[in-house]
Amino acid sequence: MRKIVIPTDFSENAMNAVRYALELFKYEKCDVYIINAFADEIYDHTTSASRDSFEKLKETVHKNSEKQLEDIVEQIEEISPNPRHTYQALSIFGSLVDETNDLVDKENIDIVIMGTRGKTNDKHLTFGSNTLQVLKYVKCPVLAIPSSFTYKRPKRILFPTDYLLPFKRRELKLLSTLTKSFRSSIHFLHSTKAKTLSIRQEDNKLFLQGSLPDIELKFISVDATDLTQMINEFIALNHIDFLVMVNSRHSYLEHMLYQSTIDKIGLHVKIPFLTMQNLQRY
C-alpha cells in the first residue's frame, strides 16, 4: 500500500500535481492524504487584529478550507475514479512543513507530491516558497510537478550523483517500483575529473545496481565544472522526462536549495523533480 501526501493551496498548480499523482500511481493501491495547512494565511492577514477578530477569521478560513478540500475529492472521483485509491482530506491550522512532517511520521508516508509553485505562480522562480521549504525540511521523498507539465510516462530518468553517500533502501525501492512500472531507463550522471572511482564510490554504485534490478541503468561520467549547466544540458539533449536528486548534507542539491535567493538557482526544472532525503534534518 502506497501512502501519499498532497499539500494544496487550492491553486491550479496544486490541482495539476494532484492529477499527475493520480496518473503516476493509478495501478497501485494508495492511501492519499490531501492536506491544507492554513496558519500562514491567517497570520499574514491579522498583523494588527484583535484576538476576537483573529478567532473569527480562523473559523471562517477553516470552514472554507474544509469545503474546498471536499470539492477536490469530488473532482478526483469524477476525473479519476479508481477503486485502488482512498482519500482523506485534512484541513489543519499549522505550518505546512510542520504538519506535513507530523503526518509523514504518524502515517509512515512514502512520498509527498506538490506543484513547484502555488498561488503566486511567479514564473521567474524555479520553486515557490512553500515548495522550497518542503524540499528542504520534510523528511520524506518529495516530488515537485511544474505547473505547465502534463502527465506522460516517465521513460527517461536522470539521476545526478557523485556516489559518495550511501542511499536509503526504502527510497530506492520507491524509485524501482516506478521505473519497473513504466519500463524506464535511469541515467546516472557523474561529474568527475578522475579516471576511476574510489572504493567507497564503487560500493555505493554496486548498491544502486543491486537495489534497482531488472531496470535499464546507464552510467555516464563527464568532466564538468558547472553542475547546474551540466544537468540542464543533459535534460535537453537526452529528452529526459523525470529528474531525481538526493538531498543530503554538503550535497550539490543542498547548496542549491540554500541559495540566498531562489532565482539564483539556475536549475530550470520543467519536468517532475523527485528529491530523496538521504539524511534527517534537525
CATH of the domain at 91: 3.40.50.620
163-217: pLDDT as tens digits: 988 888 888 999 999 898 889 999 999 988 888 999 999 999 999 999 999 899 9
CB 189 within 8 A of CB 231: yes
d(CA 175, CA 260): 30
- pLDDT at position 43: 76
Task: Indicate if 73 and 112 belong to the same structural domain.
Answer: yes
Q: Answer whether residue 63 is part of any domain.
A: yes
Pair 138, 161 in one domain: no
Q: Could you list the residue range(s) of the whole structural domain that residue 180 is in?
A: 156-268
Measured in residues, the chain has a length of 282
The C-alpha cell that represents 196 in the structure block: 576511476
For residues 31-43, give the mean pLDDT.
89
113: in domain: yes
Does some domain include residue 279? no
User: Are 55 and 135 part of one and the same domain?
Assistant: yes
If asked whether residues 7 and 103 sit together in one domain, one would say: yes
The CA distances from residue 32 to 89, 137, 186, in Å, are 9, 21, 27
224-255 pLDDT tens trace: 888 888 888 999 999 999 999 887 655 656 66
Residue 273 lies in a domain: no
Is residue 139 located within the same domain as residue 9? yes
73 class by beta-carbon count within 10 Å (0-12 exposed, 13-18 middle, 19+ buried) = middle
Give the model's pLDDT for residue 130.
Answer: 87
| Residue 251 counted as domain residue | yes
